[in-house]
Structure formats: structure tokens, C-alpha cells
Amino acid sequence: MPAIPANKPYRVGRSRTGLGLFATQPIKKGTKIIRYFGRLLDSRKKKDDAIENKYLFELNDRWTIDGSMRKNLARYINHACKPNAESDVRPRKRTVIIRAIKNIEPGEEINYDYGTDYFKAYLKPIGCKCDACEKKRKKKRAEARAEKLRLKAKAERKAQKAAEKLAGGKDAAKKKAGAAKGNGAAKANGEAKANGKLPNGEGLNGHGAALGAKPTARKARGAKPAIVAETQATEQQSHASA
């Protein structure tokens, strides 16, 4: 790795994507950190225009800095979508200064936004590996996992309810028959039977859910994960308030 004078507030080190430039001292917001320098290429010259490497820094339509030489330590600075530095481009002076746009702590990697063109051409196809994008990906993965769990739990509840409806249909008929006593018994029995067969979706669903509530809760406390128990608890609450 290249030697860096001790008075410089950075060093080259391992980063997520290879090498990167890291702060070794606190760098205040607004401070010039380093210059991005190299040979000036003139796009009007065929020979210059033919040069291709990943350290070309375009100043304007005509001028480009070829920053591929190792002495240009700024070339180690990686791209970030939410960076702590910026590239201050002065086309007329033909210079690029990397400047802190946040207070940077020792150990922090220094980065700047390479710009939309670079992002689209080089980073988007392989997936940007900057902190902000990694965080976004992580969040998406977590959300996908949670959604999967939720759907699984929902399917399990549905299966459970279906099973309970089969078994509970007889119980309900017995209970109702008992509660109604004498005269009402026959009627209640009839109602229970009708409930089992009736194609009236709304009534059936409501009834089934109310019957299913208790046994489901019991199972939730037992084998199922906490998330499921929570979902069911809120669902029961909504049932209760409805």
C-alpha cells in the first residue's frame, strides 16, 4: 500500500469492495481532504480519447483527468450514495478537490458520490455496495422474511380454523342445544346444522372466527413463534371490539 505522510488525515485500507481511503484524524465538515489529480486528457486528441480506465474523472466535455497513477491517492476513495465528502470540480482551473461535507471521525471511510452517469454505467448493474444501499438491501430482506412468516402464520391459522370448524361444528351444536333447553333445543340444533352447510359466506365466517378464537390462542401460546401470537392477539382484539 502506498506510503502516506504522517500529517495527512487519511490512510489506504481494506474496504467492502477492495481498497478505500479512511480517516485517521477527525476531519471537519467543509475541509479540503485531498486533490484528485493526474494527467489531463484532451478529448479532441485521438490518442487521449482512446485511453480507457476506471479512474477517468471528467471535468467537462473536453477535459478529463486520468487519475490512474498510484500517487493519486484520491483514486482509492469509493463511491457512496450518502457520502461524507464531495468532489469539488473546477473545470476552468482543471482541478478536483475532495472536500468533507460532514464531520468525519477517525476510522470512517471517506467517500463521495461519483454521479449519476457513473452509477448507471458501473454500479447499478452489479449493485451498489455502499453503506446506504447495503442497509436498504438488509431492510428489504428483513421485510421479505417477515412477510413470509406472516403469510405462513396466516395459512396455518386458516388451516387451524378449517380443522376446528369441522370438529367445532358438533360441539357448537351440543352447547347450543344445552343452553337453549327444551323448546329451543330443536331450533338451535337446526341452526347449527344450517350454519355448517349454509352458503351464506358472511354469517359463516363470522361465526367460525368467534368459535375458533379460543383454541387458536391456546395454540399460539404453545408452539408458535412470538410474532404469530402477537398477530393473533391483535386480531382477537379486533374481533372483541367488533
User: The dihedral of CA 156, 158, 164, 166: what is its sign?
Assistant: negative
Applying CB under 5 A, which of residues 4, 56, 89, 133 lies at the interface with Zn ion? 133
Nearer to Zn ion, 33 or 128 (CB): 128
- Determine the residue type at 163: A
Interface with Zn ion, residue 188, by CB under 5 A = no
Give the integer Cα–Cα distance in Å for 54 and 44. Answer: 20
Interface with Zn ion, residue 220, by CB under 5 A = no
Interface with Zn ion, residue 130, by CB under 5 A = yes
Asked if 77 and 57 touch (Cβ cutoff 8 Å), the reply is no
Applying CB under 5 A, which of residues 56, 81, 177, 213 lies at the interface with Zn ion? 81
Q: What is the nearest approach in angstroms of Zn ion to the Cβ of residue 129?
A: 7
Interface with Zn ion, residue 12, by CB under 5 A = no
Nearer to Zn ion, 123 or 204 (CB): 123
Q: What is the nearest approach in angstroms of Zn ion to the Cβ of residue 38?
A: 25
Give me Rg for the CA atoms of the chain. 34
Q: What is the nearest approach in angstroms of Zn ion to the Cβ of residue 17?
A: 11
Range list of β-strands (E), the chain: 10-15, 18-23, 32-36, 39-42, 56-58, 63-66, 78-79, 85-90, 95-100, 109-112
Nearer to Zn ion, 130 or 153 (CB): 130
Contacts 24+ apart (CB under 8 A), 8-14: 8/34, 9/33, 10/34, 10/73, 10/110, 12/73, 12/76, 13/109
Interface with Zn ion, residue 204, by CB under 5 A = no
Among 81, 165, 164, smallest CA distance to 130 is for: 81
Applying CB under 5 A, which of residues 128, 172, 173, 228 lies at the interface with Zn ion? 128
Nearer to Zn ion, 111 or 216 (CB): 111
Interface with Zn ion, residue 213, by CB under 5 A = no
Binding-residue total with Zn ion (CB under 5 A): 4
Among 8, 31, 19, smallest CA distance to 98 is for: 31
Interface with Zn ion, residue 149, by CB under 5 A = no
Site string for Zn ion, 15-54 (x = CB under 5 A): ----------------------------------------
Binding site residues, Zn ion, CB under 5 A = 81, 128, 130, 133
